[in-house]
Amino acid sequence: MEPVTVIGAGLAGCEAAWQLAQRGIPVILREMKPEKKSPAHHSDDFAELVCSNSMRSDQLENAVGLLKEELRRSGSLILSCADAHRVEAGGALAVDRFGFSGAVTRKIKDHPNITVVPGEVTDIPSEGEVIIATGPLTSDALSESIRAFFGGEEYLSFFDAAAPLVSFESVDLDQAWFASRYDKGTADYINCAMNEEEYDAFWQALTTAQEAEVHGFEDAGVFEGCMPVEVMARRGRDTLRYGPLKPKGLTDPKTGKEPYAVVQLRRDNAQGSVYNLVGFQTHLRFPEQKRVFSMIPALKSAEFLRYGVMHRNTYLNSPRLLDRYYRVRREPRVMFAGQVTGVEGYVESTASGFVCAVELAHRLLGKPPVDFPTETALGALAGYISNESVTDFQPMNINFGIIPPLDHKVKGKRNKNAELSARGLTALAQLEL
């Protein structure tokens, strides 16, 4: 059997390569690292997490919790490695980013059916089965090749931002405390409170701080799910207090009251020596980040291990180009996976690589295709990116809004979502993967 070429060793590419290899199909995995890195990548390992280290909620009352559980039950490499390297984060699945990426890299390189070929790919292979999973940071050369492949079809693009990291030992715990919102789970977050005067000074500084130059950036083009904190601040004085700085569900042990505003820090590695500022994706200049974020009382002497960065994300107009298996409609031997398809998020990227590989494996092995029903999160996401009736296609996280409703009423949102998840897992169990 001729090997399948998978281009890109991010979450989607690694998942796709693994699923194919596990089914006995040889894979050539092309990855430009370590010879070349995008501006947002720092490690030589595969499946590098360039933004947050959180894969979001791990509970079945949340759609991404359902998606994760579907992947777990289907033998996902990414979820297996994430579970093995998780760090405490309340009801979320957060991971030690270096331990996680290292584990994925070892699994991929040790698999007898996967051959890793380093070096940048600049053209779509002219023959053979290929999965392009180069992500939203696809190199300029390959981007041009993809554009030419689609006959000049325009990409849609947005900018994505990563939050700063600080050392644990530099956080002033006299001005902060450990707790999870509503005491949910263990006390996994460091909570940095601000009173009204401190918040006002911080907000004013944030709205006037100098941004790094990012070509083509406009507030209107920012994806709402990863909005820079300074852009959010400019939308109104209280926008942050109803967003990442909301104090609801947190009680300051010093006062016994809810603070005016709270900045949360989440553990970023297993040792607990590194924490990230939750919701603080930014493209401020580095000196401005140091100046403004140090106005948070608990971070007045913070050691910034990494400043926030802004980078370009690019995605296809997938409803016009791809089918529900992530295949190019006019040339099914070519498939796309990951955020370049318009799925948004780590788990969603993994899911697209999984669906891609399962469909391709069945096709190569002479089996009927696996039609993931839209009652599953896997099927709903694939249906969203291939829905030809969509006219203004935007990146999308998995959510219950794109999953068909129940045929009966259920009292309470959590109860309804739990039933939707139970229905999806029942549907998944009936598939032959």
Q: What is the pLDDT of residue 138?
A: 83
Per-position DSSP letters for 28-90, written without gaps between them: EEEE-TTT---TT---SSSS---S-SEEEE-STTSHHHHHHHHHHHTT-HHHHHHHHTEE--T
Instruction: Give the position of tokens 């909620």.
Output: 57
Q: What is the pLDDT of residue 202?
A: 98
Q: What is the pLDDT of residue 220?
A: 47
Element at 289 (helix H, strand E): helix 286-293
CB atoms within 10 A of CB 214: 15
Q: What pTM did the predictor assign?
A: 0.80
Side-chain-side CA neighbours of 428 within 13 Å: the count stands at 22
168: tokens are 């644990």
Side-chain-side CA neighbours of 220 within 13 Å: the count stands at 0
CB 52 within 8 A of CB 275: no
Q: What is the pLDDT of residue 393?
A: 85
Helices then strands, each counted (H, E), the chain: 12, 17
User: Is the Cα dihedral 185, 191, 197, 199 positive or negative?
Assistant: negative
CB 245 within 8 A of CB 261: yes
DSSP code of 159? E
CB 310 within 8 A of CB 214: yes
Q: Could you report the average pLDDT of every consecutive run of 10 residues in the chain (433 residues)?
A: 96 98 98 78 86 89 97 98 93 93 98 97 95 87 90 70 89 94 78 97 96 56 70 95 94 94 92 91 93 98 88 84 96 96 94 98 96 97 93 84 92 94 98 93
Domains of the chain: 4-155+316-429 (3.50.50.60), 162-312 (2.40.30)
Q: What is the pLDDT of residue 43?
A: 84
Tell me which residue of 268, 312, 284 sits closest to 38, measured CA to CA: 312
Q: What is the pLDDT of residue 222?
A: 54
